[in-house]
Amino acid sequence: MDWLSPEEWQAVALSLRVAFWATLASLPPGVLAAYALARWRFPGRQLLNGLVHLPLILPPVATGYLLLLAFGTRGPLGSLLEEAGIVFAFRWTGAALAAAVMAFPLMVRAIRLSIEAVDPRLEQAGATLGASGPWVFATVTLPLVLPGILAGAILAFAKAMGEFGATITFVSNIPGQTQTLPTAIYAFLQVPGGEASALRLVVIAIVVSMAALLLSEIVARRVAKRVAGA
Amino acid sequence: MTLSVAIRHAFPGFELDVSFEAPPGVTVLFGRSGSGKTTTVNAVAGLLRPDAGRAAADGWVLFDTAGGAWLPPHRRRLGYIFQEGRLFPHLTVRRNLLYGRWFAPKEGPGEDMGRIVEMLGIGHLLDRRPGALSSGEKQRVAIGRALLASPRLILADEPLASLDEARKAEILPYFERLRDEVSVPVLYVSHSAAEVARLATTVIALEDGKAVRQGPAVEVLGDPTVTPVGARGAGAVLEAAVVRHHADGLSEIEAGGVSLFLPRVPHPPGSRIRVRIAAHEVLLSRGEPEGLSALNILPGTVESVRAGEGPGAIVSVRTAAGTILSRATRRSTEALGLAEGVQCHAVIKTVAIAPEGVGGA
């Protein structure tokens, strides 16, 4: 990788790591939130819906600031987690948290749509054949929403790769610590002679995004083909 | 095992209040759409929780609202065959078939996969997915999936309604075999008189959420007051034995000492069959008819004349072969002076006996 400077390479690697963990960690709560919004009728459902979508409509800087207030070392959650040895502020884990929060609404939307598309009559059929609720979910619902989960995960990954506002507000822009691909591009553009580095990172961003998109298309087509029985 | 069911459930604008007994064999819930058939079956399955009621078989309680008992559907040991198949699209036919077995208790004999696959003729489909099957094939797989769950009760909700006539003819024999070869009770929903005539051991006639008549199939279908699908669907069922197949393409059958002729049936001589005779295909004559082309002329006595809302009437005639229903205009029943106790002849054209109305008894 001699065409990338160590600093540039660091930013790319960190971004990939941040996006990977942000996506992986938000999958279980993402599926749960999507299922709850699609299927359950409970008081506070609209509130949950609003909370999930908040990062999508709030200015990212505001989301980052709220994260700083809550998860900063002196924040209520941050100090609590610090005792448990988990620190978010000004660490790459904080960048992952910011990316996860920002990508969460996109992930939940994609999964929710695919859960709503599952015919509940198939789940009933599973129940009449002896499968209890969790088994029906595992053997009928989950395989049928898998394309939606994959689409949601890839969308979230791409969003996490590109997250800027909340990240820079929450964990700043420390090279090797919290400097992700977008914040690195921003940093390079602030110094004279940094355009070439910025451009190289932009090219990488395009390649990674396109690859993610292609991958999701291929996966979706495979799954659709399998279900159609062809 | 006899299943006894009592269900009361109120929907906006419709109230279901049925109670019936389903003895071994096929019990058909018969009635027009909206009469409460599917609601009843779904309550038995546990997919709908009724306001009040009870369903139990030999001390095995599915639900009892008075005692607060409610088994969830997955613990009811059902084999539910749905109208639309409801096969799992992401699983192969083989894994669809084995789905219920996975959850069934491991002890006990259970149905043999090979035998069921052979009975339904689906051996060549095992590695395909439901998306690649025809509607008739899907429905056969759905039957197999229900049977292989080792059910204690089989439910079928209009399993043939979404199929065309050719596919229906393909599947009906499997249900006949089910009735004859499988020992668990079958609760079968239908609005087709022909299906009822072929399959039912017991018929529960539903009308506007009430069970208006229940009993053995031949009795209920021969009752002119039971025409749940309108007078067009009326038709009596005769039980008969095949005597011989004639070279001219006709089969001779015998019911109550009377010989009848119908288009060639597939059943071998000596076998018992059921023949449904649609009421609108039966003519009535006061005198002994002569010079008619019809081969089947049955002397009998009028049991009842029931006028409908329109110009038609259903005349029930007791013959040696069994009760025959005839649909005529009120004008002609009056002109002939048909009334209870009057002697007459029922005339049935051989070709009018439809093959889908003939099945094994």
Contact state of B89 with A144 under an 8 Å Cβ cutoff: yes
| Residue matched to tokens 């989301």 | A63
Q: Does B210 touch chain A (CB under 8 A)?
A: no
The pLDDT of residue B230 is above 60: no
The pLDDT of residue A230 is above 70: no
- Report A:198-227 residues touching B (Cβ under 8 A): 226-227
Tokens (6 digits) for A175: 């090279």
ipTM of the prediction? 0.79
End-to-end CA distance of chain A: 43
B80 to chain A: nearest residue by CA? A128
Of A129, A133, A229, the CB nearest to B103: A129
- Residues of chain B in contact with residue A227, where contact means CB-CB under 8 angstroms, are 89-90, 129, 131
pLDDT-based confidence at A223, cuts 50/70/90? confident
| CATH architecture assignment, domain B3-221 | 3-Layer(aba) Sandwich (3.40)
Helix (H) or strand (E) holding B313: strand B312-319
- Residues of chain A in contact with residue B89, where contact means CB-CB under 8 angstroms, are 122, 144, 227-229
The string of pLDDT tens digits covering residues A9-33 is: 899 999 999 999 999 999 999 999 9
Contact (CB, 8 A) for A90 and A177? yes
Contact state of A125 with B86 under an 8 Å Cβ cutoff: yes
* Least Cα separation, residue B168 to chain A (angstroms): 22
Q: Does B49 touch chain A (CB under 8 A)?
A: no
For B166-213, the DSSP string reads HHHHHHHHHHHHHHHH--S-EEEEE--HHHHHHH-SEEEEEETTEEEE
- Residues of chain B in contact with residue A129, where contact means CB-CB under 8 angstroms, are 74, 78-80, 99-100, 103, 145-146, 149
pLDDT-based confidence at B200, cuts 50/70/90? confident
User: What's the confidence (pLDDT) of residue B34?
Assistant: 82
The pLDDT of residue A220 is above 90: no
B97 to chain A: nearest residue by CA? A129
Contact state of B90 with A228 under an 8 Å Cβ cutoff: no
Q: Does A135 touch chain B (CB under 8 A)?
A: yes
Contact (CB, 8 A) for B306 and B314? yes
The pLDDT of residue B8 is above 80: yes
The string of pLDDT tens digits covering residues B107-132 is: 656 667 888 888 888 999 999 999 88
- Residues of chain A in contact with residue B80, where contact means CB-CB under 8 angstroms, are 125, 128-129
Lowest mean pLDDT among B194-208, B220-234, B317-331, B336-350: B220-234
> d(Cα A221, Cα B135) in Å, to the nearest integer?
24
- Residues of chain B in contact with residue A114, where contact means CB-CB under 8 angstroms, are none
Q: Which fold has domain A6-228?
A: MetI-like fold (1.10.3720)
> d(Cα A75, Cα B237) in Å, to the nearest integer?
82
> d(Cα B31, Cα B191) in Å, to the nearest integer?
5
User: What's the confidence (pLDDT) of residue B227?
Assistant: 59
Tell whether domain B235-360 is in CATH 2.40.50.100.
yes
Where do the structural domains in chain B lie, given as residue ranges? 3-221, 235-360
Where do the structural domains in chain A lie, given as residue ranges? 6-228
Mean pLDDT for B216-244 is 74
Contact state of B47 with A124 under an 8 Å Cβ cutoff: yes
> d(Cα B136, Cα B138) in Å, to the nearest integer?
5
* Least Cα separation, residue A143 to chain B (angstroms): 7
* Least Cα separation, residue B62 to chain A (angstroms): 13
pLDDT-based confidence at B338, cuts 50/70/90? confident
Contact (CB, 8 A) for B253 and B275? yes
Of B76, B82, B102, the CB nearest to A125: B82
Of A121, A131, A139, the CB nearest to B86: A121
- Report B:62-81 residues touching A (Cβ under 8 A): 72-80
A127 to chain B: nearest residue by CA? B74
> d(Cα B61, Cα B71) in Å, to the nearest integer?
8
The string of pLDDT tens digits covering residues B57-90 is: 888 899 999 988 899 999 998 899 998 889 999 9
The string of pLDDT tens digits covering residues A53-81 is: 999 999 999 999 999 999 988 888 888 88
Of A129, A132, A227, the CB nearest to B89: A227
Mean pLDDT rounded to a whole number for chain B? 85
Q: Does A134 touch chain B (CB under 8 A)?
A: no
For B245-287, the DSSP string reads E-TTSEEEEEETTEEEEEE--SSPTT-EEEEEEEGGGEEEESS
Contact (CB, 8 A) for A51 and A129? no
The string of pLDDT tens digits covering residues A77-87 is: 888 888 888 88
Contact state of A131 with B74 under an 8 Å Cβ cutoff: yes
The pLDDT of residue B307 is above 80: no
* Least Cα separation, residue B103 to chain A (angstroms): 5
Contact state of A129 with B77 under an 8 Å Cβ cutoff: no
Contact state of B129 with A229 under an 8 Å Cβ cutoff: yes
- Residues of chain A in contact with residue B147, where contact means CB-CB under 8 angstroms, are none
Mean pLDDT rounded to a whole number for chain A? 89
B361 Cβ contact partners less than 8 Å away, ≥ 6 residues apart:
B239, B272, B273, B274
* Least Cα separation, residue A153 to chain B (angstroms): 21
* Least Cα separation, residue A42 to chain B (angstroms): 20
Contact (CB, 8 A) for B5 and B19? yes
Q: Which of B83, B84, B99 to mutate to test the interface with A (most CBs of A within 10 A)?
A: B99
Lowest mean pLDDT among A165-179, B27-41, B172-186: B172-186
